[in-house]
Structure 1
Amino acid sequence: MTLMNQWSRRALLASFAAASGARFVARAAAQTETQGAGGGAAPFGYPDVVKRARDLAAAPYDAAIPAMPDGLANLDFDAWRDIRFKSDKPLLDGQNNNFRLELFHLGHLYKRPVTINVLRDGIPAPIPYASNLFDYGRTKVEANLPVNLGFAGFRLRFPINAPHVWDEVVAFLGASYFRFLGRGQRYGLSARGLAIGAGQRLNEEFPFFREFWIETPGPAAERIVIYGLLDGESATGAFRFDLVPDQETYIETNVTLIARKAIPDLGLAPLSSMFYVGKNDRRFSDDFRGELHDSDGLLMHTGAGEWIWCPLSNPVAPAVSVFLDTNPHGFGLLQRDRNFPDYQDLELAYELRPSYWIEPHEGWGEGRVVLLELPTSDETNDNIVAAWSPKDGLEAGKSLAYGYRITALTMDQDLTPGGRTIATFHVAARALGAPESPPPGATRFLIDFSGGELSYYMSDPSMVAVVATTSNGRILRTFLTPNTHIRGFRAGVDIAVDPGQSADLRVFLRAGPKALTETWTFPWRA
């Protein structure tokens, strides 16, 4: 399935920033034309993008969007989607070239022009707009649109699933959003360049990429370099993305941010996803599909070495969970449930959605992983955000340089050394098949753990203990049952919390002093 089809239900959130302004296309084109014109000039690279980000931060923020030609601004989604880049004009294409560049047309929600350059021998060349690059289908637009019109974004194709079949492997479209795929995966969650104020939801900003530079890869190259210039009301930024398509595609990302003004709530390596219905949330059950989500949990590998799993939920009211840490080893939004019968969606293939895993290149210091969960009444909204927030934010005029690898995973068994959480269920006042029902007013959580050394202990469950704690209320009872279906255990925890009160629950399995599983954690409001 192409991104044009899959991006439809993400268009709203990914394009909110399209209402917040920019010109810069013509000016950027003029700058890039002079770059490297003199003999002996150094090849264009990341330091040049950093310099542009600093210069941009020193100038007043320009929120204006150039007026779009008639017929583009009022396109509905179907009309915009009908404008397709002609497959016989793939840029970067040449003999033995694995990568093909295609462009997205402006229109509908995508009103902000983005300048896209191709780097050849270190010299940037902006791609001028030309109507003959596109097949407009049934959509009617002006015949003579200006060459500095710009584009909404771009995508790269690569033979990732089969030789000589150029499938979409990455796309940048809308604000600072981008998506990428590994082999056999289907689009689901999104990554973002930067989030500002996402946890507060009061004055959230959507920084955006103004300009991209794409290096022309060599013959048969299996990686490609993309540079991006980010702009926003509070910060600018220079990005270098080294994309490596593979069975589990990854992007080495290096970033330099420059603050226009103080930013107390900074979200680095942010991820956006959707969770509507899952095993632990059955409020919406009038659909033949049992589960509907792009991700089902947040996984963290803390600086202290602990693995933490937090199942996602579709809350009744907005919920923010904060996980304090120092120098995290990694975090990400994962889709662990890969069983088609749980979804039963032949078209959308939720079981093939990728997980995105973030691994910092270097120590990120003190801070917190912030998880935002918003209520949603259907599956069309990205209602989940996860990001790293540094403890001290960023002062006006200061810069912050950092890097990370982001990987598109299909299975995450190799990430964690111990047992993993396979499923979470909770039932108030009763639980079928359990040793006994919880008392009135209590809630029972059932957690399925599998993997690691758990199969070794199934013959003698008495050696395994359930370790359960809560920040509020009381743990009334725990029990453990071998689960042969997953070659692991089902842990049961009964908890009593006063109505209207909240509690953070933590559960893991232990044999003697040895932890056998990751720590399951769940913010719970009675």
Structure 2
Amino acid sequence: MMRRTFLTGVSSLALMQPDMLRAAMPRFIETTAFGPDTVRQMARTLAQSDYAPRAEVPAEWRDLTYDEYRKIWFDTRNAIWADTDLPFEMDLFHPGLYFPRAVEVDVVRAGQANRLAFDFDLFDKTDDAPDLPVDETMGYSGLRLRHQFPGEANHREFAVFQGASYFRAIGSGQSYGLSARGLALRTGDAQGEEFPDFIQFWVQEPSPGSPDIVVHALMDSPSATGAFRFRLTPGLACEMQVDCTLYPRVDLDHVGIAPLTSMFLYDQTNRPRFPDFRPAIHDSDGLLIWNGAGEMLWRPLANPVALQISSFVDDNPRGFGLMQRARKLSDFADLEAHYHERPSLWIEPDGDWGQGVVRLVEIPSDQEIYDNIVAYWRPRDPLPAGQEHRFAYRMTWSDEANTAAPPRRSVARVLNTHMGLNFKRDAWLVAIDFDDHPALGNLSETQGGLHGVTIHIGSRAPTTDGVLQRNPETGGVRLAFQFDPAENAAVELRAQLFVAGEAVSEVWLYRWTRA
């Protein structure tokens, strides 16, 4: 999936009381009743008929070049709820180029859903922008939400919904990075993946002083329909409470719940493959899982030479997410992309999700413009057609080191993984940096090694005993060991630290593959 970098430069729109409409404000083309079950009922009804693709926008819009698309942008002075005392504003994106099918956008107020007409006057453009046909029923390609943070005069963006069922968010002070999706279907399967679409949005008008805003979305695809409700609370971390109700048209034997999509090109584990001046390029550097047994698993991401799929079997997971733990500018040496400011995204299931796997899909990539990492929860049993299936979860978009992290087991986090040949060039050396932990603070140290820690290293390949040392750069400890893959094409590795029989670190997992 090509990365949606053009989402950062666009549009905005203004909605006021009906008797105060401005000329630049989009018209309402219809008003209907709206209640808590409206979208679920629409999804349920839609699933009872065969899938029918939505009409495409006119060819002149679809045939826009990338440069032509960027010559038209939303004028944020026209944002919905602009010139009001509400803490939120909403912008709209025009269709075309990568978005050949538009979505309908409604604003909900006092139990009424008001459909917004497409209004080209809401947009600004360059003098050489192409002339395009306009139909007020055409719709938009998505929306952007902005919030007035405490102490600031202007509204600052924090969330975008655009393209298929993709959306993304940031905490204050962060830059956009990984994305989420409403649903993943058959990701990594030989017969190809199916991408469901959000086809209509309803945005509830917030109350003055409200800390959050609610967005509803109707999803449709050949295999399923769905109703989604997002309660978004912006801040240092952006919190989303998600309620998802699915109505399969067919039995869904490979479904991805709470799917996350990111980019990992290289870091210290595979740096030699990329002749780039930057030491690392990635939006996320690891998959974190808090499984039903209470273990914290950390799996560094990889950019393999062939498609790689990993499944972490679980029963009622407590949480999982794609994290960005490299947080210094020097980790990337990139003054433009600001990879060190990209958010981590943590998923906390609400209720019992039963048995299944957290699935990680790693796709070979040679450019940073492509998303090549997918992670999601796959239920063990198929979701039968003709039934309702509900999932609820909380999403936290944040810098986990500098914001109040969601509840997780208190163990030393894996900060970084270094890997390369040893000095003799006859085996591979692994160095794992853990952050500090109270149980590691009072350990004795002789001849450069820490004592009183039990080191568990697991692999089918021969490994050396681990050496544990303090790392003055991180304030934590570093575990180093060697392994010999011999003729194996892949080697699974596992490491963890224990003190007095208690786990004091995350479980480090890695799949080494021969490049």
In 2, are the aligned partners of 1:195 and 1:207 still within 8 Å (CA)? yes
Unaligned runs of 5+ residues in structure 2 are: 10-27
Distance 2:190 2:204 in 1: 36
Which residue in the other structure is 1:16 paired with? none
Aligned to 2:46: 56
Query: 1:283-317, CA deviations, whole angstroms, 9 ceiling, x for partnerless residues?
Result: 33422211110000000101111000000111111
Q: Does structure 1 residue 259 correspond to structure 2 residue 248?
A: yes
Change (3 A) 1:53 1:194: same
Shift in Å, 1:88: 1.6
**Distance of 2:132 and 2:63 partners within structure 1:** 17
Partner residue in 2 for 1:275: 264
* 1:160–1:182 contact (8 Å) kept in structure 2: no
Partner of 1:207: 196
Choose from 281, 296, 304 the match for 1:307.
Answer: 296
Of residues 480, 490, 493 in structure 1, which corresponds to 2:478? 490
- Look up the match of 2:19: none
2: distance between equivalents of 1:287 and 1:189? Answer: 22
Q: How does 1:32-181 map to 2 (within 5 A)?
A: 33=30, 35-36=32-33, 44-66=34-56, 68-138=57-127, 140-142=129-131, 145-160=134-149, 163-181=152-170
CA shift in 2, pair 1:322/1:510, >3 Å: same
**1:380 corresponds to:** 369
- Identify the match of residue 513 of structure 1 among 480, 486, 501: 501
> Which residue of structure 1 aligns with residue 20 of structure 2?
none
Q: SS at 2:327's partner residue?
A: coil
User: What is aligned with 2:283?
Assistant: 294
Which moves more between the two structures, 95-104 or 140-149?
140-149
Separation in 1, partners of 2:54, 2:211: 38
**Partners of 1:181 and 1:397 in 2: CA distance:** 36
SS where residue 71 of structure 1 aligns? helix
In 2, Cα distance between equivalents of 1:216 and 1:105: 21
AA aligned to 2:50 is P
Query: How far does residue 83 in structure 1 lie from its aligned partner after superposition?
Result: 1.2
Show the counterpart of 1:187: 176
Paired residues of 2:414 and 2:434 also in contact (CA < 8 A): yes
Q: Which runs of 5+ in 1 are unaligned?
A: 10-30, 37-43, 432-436
Give yes or no for the alignment of 1:425 onto 2:422: no
Deviation (angstroms), 1:398: 2.0
1:327 paired residue number = 316
Shift of 1:502: 2.6
- Any conservation in 2 of the 1:454–1:489 contact (CA below 8 Å)? no
CA distance in 1, matches of 2:31, 2:433: 61
- Per mean C-alpha deviation after superposition, the further-off stretch among 305-314 and 135-144 is 135-144
Runs of 4+ in 1 over 3 A off after TM superposition: 3-9, 31-34, 138-144, 412-416, 457-460
1:316-395 equivalent positions in 2, closer than 5 A = 316-395=305-384
How far did 1:378 drift? 1.2
Whether the 8 Å contact between 2:72 and 2:126 is mirrored in structure 1 is yes
Asked if 1 retains the 8 angstrom alpha-carbon contact of 2:68 and 2:130, the reply is: no
Cα deviation, residue 480, structure 1: 1.8
Task: Provide, for residues 387-411 of structure 1, a one-character-per-residue CA deviation record: whole Å limited to 9, x for no partner.
Answer: 0000002112122101000011112
> CA deviation digits over 1:220-254, x for unaligned, max 9?
22211100000011111000000001111110000
Match of 2:44, SS? helix
User: 1:444 is paired with a residue of what secondary structure?
Assistant: strand
Partners of 2:136 and 2:458 in 1: CA distance: 63
Pair 1:467-2:456 in alignment: yes
1:478 corresponds to = 466
Q: Percent identity?
A: 36
Partners in 2 of 1:5 and 1:397 — Cα distance? 38
Q: In the superposition, relative to structure 1, how do residues 214 and 303 fare at CA in structure 2: closer, same or farther (>3 Å)?
A: same
| Separation (CA, whole Å) in 1 of partners of 2:167 and 2:339 | 19
Alpha-carbon distance between aligned partners in 2 of 1:5 and 1:377, rounded to the nearest angstrom = 17
Which range moves more in the overlay, 416-425 or 355-364? Answer: 416-425
Give the TM-score, by structure 1 length: 0.88
Structure 1's 143 and 32: CA in aligned 2 closer, same or farther, altered over 3 A? Answer: closer
The Cα offsets for residues 253-280 of structure 1, whole Å up to 9 and x where unpaired, read as: 0010010001111000000000011111
Are the counterparts in 1 of residues 6 and 70 from structure 2 also a CA contact under 8 Å?
no
User: Alignment partner for residue 502 of structure 1, among 477, 490, 503?
Assistant: 490
Contact in 2 for aligned 1:189/1:271 (Cα 8 Å)? yes
Q: Give the superposed CA RMSD.
A: 2.1
Q: 1:289, 1:154 → 2: CA distance?
A: 33
Q: CA deviation at 1:141?
A: 4.3
Go from structure 1 to structure 2 and tell me whether the alpha carbon gap of 1:80 and 1:483 turns closer, same or farther (over 3 Å shift): same
Distance 1:340 1:327, change over 3 A: same
Deviation at 1:200, TM superposition (A): 2.1
Shift of 1:161: 7.6
What SS class does the counterpart of residue 96 from structure 2 fall into?
Answer: coil
Tell me which residue corresponds to 2:510. Answer: 522
Match of 2:429 in 1: 444
Distance 1:287 1:501, change over 3 A: closer
State the partner residue of 2:237: 248
- Using the TM superposition, give the Cα deviation of residue 8 of structure 1 relative to its aligned residue in structure 2, in angstroms: 7.8
TM-score, structure 2 as length reference: 0.90
Greater Cα shift, 204-213 or 286-295: 286-295
Aligned-pair CA distance for 1:138: 4.1
- Partner of 1:118, secondary structure, is strand
Distance 1:319 1:332 in 2: 18
Shift of 1:156: 0.8
Q: Which amino acid is 1:349 matched to?
A: H
Structure 1 residues 139 and 154 mapped into 2: Cα distance closer, same or farther (>3 Å)? farther
Asked if 2 retains the 8 angstrom alpha-carbon contact of 1:154 and 1:171, the reply is yes
Indicate if the aligned counterparts of 2:414 and 2:506 stay in contact, CA closer than 8 A: yes
Offset at 1:325?
A: 0.4
Distance 1:447 1:321 in 2: 21
